[in-house]
Amino acid sequence: MTQTALSQNGSSLISYAITKLNPEVFSHPIWKHFGKKKASLSPSIVDDLLCAAKNIQENDPSGACQVLLICAFYLNYFSRQYKALIVSQQAHALAERTGLTREAVWALWGTCAICVQQGNYEQATIHFVDLHAALTEQNEWIVANFIELMKQTLCNFMPVSSRKNFAPARDRPTEEMLTLTFDWLQQWGYPLPAPKTDFGIPAQNSYREKRSPLDTSASKPKPDLTYRRETAEVSESINMVAQMLGTFSVIIQESQLKLPASRGLSLLKYLLLHHKRNTPREVLMDAFWPDANPEAARNNLNVAMYNLRQGVRSVIDLEVIRFGNGAYGLPTNIDLWLDVDEFEQCVKEGQRLEARNQLTDAVTEYEIAVNIYRGDLLADTPYDDWMAIDRERLRLAYLDTLDRMSKIYFDREQYAACIRLCQLILNRDLCREDAHCCLMRCYSRLGQVPLALRQYQICAEALHSELEVDPAPETTQLYQRIHQHQHV
């Protein structure tokens, strides 16, 4: 379908897309069970739902996917967007693993919507690419074209440096169609009915007023929390979401914290990474001013902390750093979600399940961990020495997780999935000879012998260029066996 046709039939197209992209979770019996309770608007209900999803995923994977999306709805409603993002990705991993194409599309759409609500258009665009591919495989050409337009439009709101991997929009569909679709994306994750537009799409509500990125008439308003105060249990805690894997990002009570590069910002990063215990003043002095005398180091620390607090208060009037008993830390009322913690927890749980031979559950945990790992620790400040050990530790954990998953997929003869993981390993470390060998075996077993032989050449060139060594004898023997069309 051409872009002109899409624009001319906007209302019917969006109505059709809704039937394909919106999950049917509200007809699920577990939703009906919990939805009738007064406590259904309490964040604690998510724990019950996650437990329910785990209990039914073997016998009813479709139901488990829907319950996971219910969890994502609730988490998103309570402004835990990053946790909601992880749960929606967990639903997608389960759907992919069990061949549930419909549920996989639902989960991908939810993931796109959460990213749009966060204003993370670059990540949303990446997920739109996956969604477009999934719809194309299902021969849903109309909706796939619609998603392609959405992806192209989002490129207009990404930084110029990030657009190089995506084709820009040649034309632009009608303003009305895009605005309605962005409104629809912004409403994803709300269990209560919302007013309807003429197209049957939820309109913006007073308790969740957000603007499409197309609307430049006014700055984005802060959400009105009046409705939430009347219907939900409001905690006194302050929600903080911090991403340190890849580009650093902090969101406090839905407000993005944007501070200029400074020593104070580095101190904030340090305290977030070590948030589980308060950090003595002397430790910070030694980490950031190792060559200064104690008096100068303490003065530098005081100045940096003062500037940090002033910078935070210019964005949001909340206390983020507290000092007591000679140590700095986060206030006790801050409820922190940190991607590093979540990554390590998923890796640890995956290893525990793998040791118990619960490989299906282990892969689910590993997949979530891989999705969380958006890049090396604080990749936007690669020359800060204080986190070098943690950065390498997390990088090795990521590579080890990819390696564990690739072995599981190889043993299950899921060679395409194994190839994807090995390529991710080599993207980080081109000299991983074991990953090259695994790729050679996968290509050979898929009947793609030329690719297997070419992989050996790539391995040999990388080892010679980076380490000035030749491939191990075992790798060369593998190459020779493949060349002779032997089974490997």
Whether the predicted pLDDT of 39 surpasses 70: no
Is 439 found in the same domain as 325?
A: no
Of 176, 195, 229, which one is at a domain's C-terminal end?
A: 229
Q: Which two tokens stand for residue 407?
A: 């072995």
Is 75 found in the same domain as 185?
A: yes
What gap in Å lies between CA 93 and CA 111, rounded to an integer?
12
**What is the arithmetic mean of pLDDT over 231-240?**
58
Evaluate whether residue 364 is within a structural domain. no
Is 127 found in the same domain as 69?
A: yes
- The whole-angstrom distance between residue 137's C-alpha and the CA centroid of its chain comes to 23
Q: Of the candidates 46, 126, 55, which has an alpha carbon nearest to the alpha carbon of residue 83?
A: 46
DSSP-assigned letter for residue 392: H
Instruction: Please tell me which of 16-25, 199-208, 369-378 the model is most confident about, judged by mean pLDDT.
Output: 369-378
pTM of the predicted protein model: 0.59
- In this predicted structure, what is the pLDDT of residue 382? 86
User: pLDDT tens for residues 315-368?
Assistant: 788 888 999 999 999 998 888 889 999 999 999 999 999 999 999 889 888 988
User: pLDDT band at residue 8, thresholds of 50, 70 and 90?
Assistant: very low
Rounded to whole angstroms, the maximal C-alpha distance in the chain is 73
Q: Of the candidates 46, 190, 173, which has an alpha carbon nearest to the alpha carbon of residue 113?
A: 190
Please give the residue range of the domain that contains residue 37.
Answer: 3-229
Q: What is the dihedral of CA 147, 148, 154, 158, to 10 degrees?
A: 140
C-alpha to C-alpha distances, 192 to 112, 113, 205, nearest whole angstrom: 20, 17, 11
Domain count across the chain: 3
- In this predicted structure, what is the pLDDT of residue 103? 85
Evaluate whether residue 372 is within a structural domain. no
Q: Is 167 strand, coil or helix?
A: coil
Instruction: Please tell me which of 56-60, 193-197, 261-265 the model is most confident about, judged by mean pLDDT.
Output: 261-265
- In this predicted structure, what is the pLDDT of residue 45? 67
- The whole-angstrom distance between residue 62's C-alpha and the CA centroid of its chain comes to 22
**Residue 485 sits in a domain of what CATH number?**
1.25.40.10
Beta sheet of 334-338, edge-to-edge order = 255-256, 249-252, 238-243, 334-338
Evaluate whether residue 221 is within a structural domain. yes
Q: Of the candidates 305, 274, 278, which has an alpha carbon nearest to the alpha carbon of residue 289?
A: 305
Is 429 found in the same domain as 322?
A: no
User: pLDDT tens for residues 254-268?
Assistant: 778 888 889 999 999
Instruction: Please tell me which of 68-82, 184-198, 225-239, 329-343 the model is most confident about, judged by mean pLDDT.
Output: 329-343
Of 335, 367, 390, which one is at a domain's C-terminal end?
A: 335
Is 299 found in the same domain as 198?
A: no
State the helix-helix crossing angle for 10-21 and 175-187, rounded to 10 degrees: 20
- In this predicted structure, what is the pLDDT of residue 147? 77
Evaluate whether residue 317 is within a structural domain. yes
User: pLDDT band at residue 22, thresholds of 50, 70 and 90?
Assistant: low
User: pLDDT band at residue 439, thresholds of 50, 70 and 90?
Assistant: very high
Whether the predicted pLDDT of 409 surpasses 50: yes
Instruction: Please state, for a pLDDT cut of 90, what percent of the chain lies above it.
Output: 38
**What is the arithmetic mean of pLDDT over 81-100?**
86
**Residue 323 sits in a domain of what CATH number?**
1.10.10.10
Of 302, 335, 368, which one is at a domain's C-terminal end?
A: 335
Evaluate whether residue 381 is within a structural domain. no
Pick the more confident residue, 28 or 84.
84
Evaluate whether residue 368 is within a structural domain. no
Is 191 found in the same domain as 292?
A: no
Is 220 found in the same domain as 187?
A: yes
Whether the predicted pLDDT of 30 surpasses 50: no
User: pLDDT tens for residues 150-180?
Assistant: 777 766 554 444 444 444 444 444 455 556 5
Is 211 found in the same domain as 76?
A: yes
CA pseudo-torsion sign 353, 369, 47, 334: positive
Whether the predicted pLDDT of 216 surpasses 80: no
Q: Which two tokens stand for residue 389?
A: 């050990």
Is 211 found in the same domain as 285?
A: no
**What is the arithmetic mean of pLDDT over 280-288?**
95
Is 273 found in the same domain as 204?
A: no
- In this predicted structure, what is the pLDDT of residue 286? 94
Whether the predicted pLDDT of 245 surpasses 50: yes
Whether the predicted pLDDT of 426 surpasses 70: yes
Evaluate whether residue 191 is within a structural domain. yes
Q: How many degrees, rounded to 5, is the angle at CA 50 between CA 44 and CA 54?
A: 155
Mean model confidence pLDDT for the chain: 77
Evaluate whether residue 154 is within a structural domain. yes
Is 194 found in the same domain as 49?
A: yes
Is 286 found in the same domain as 196?
A: no
What distance, in Å, lies between the first and last C-alpha atoms of the chain? 45
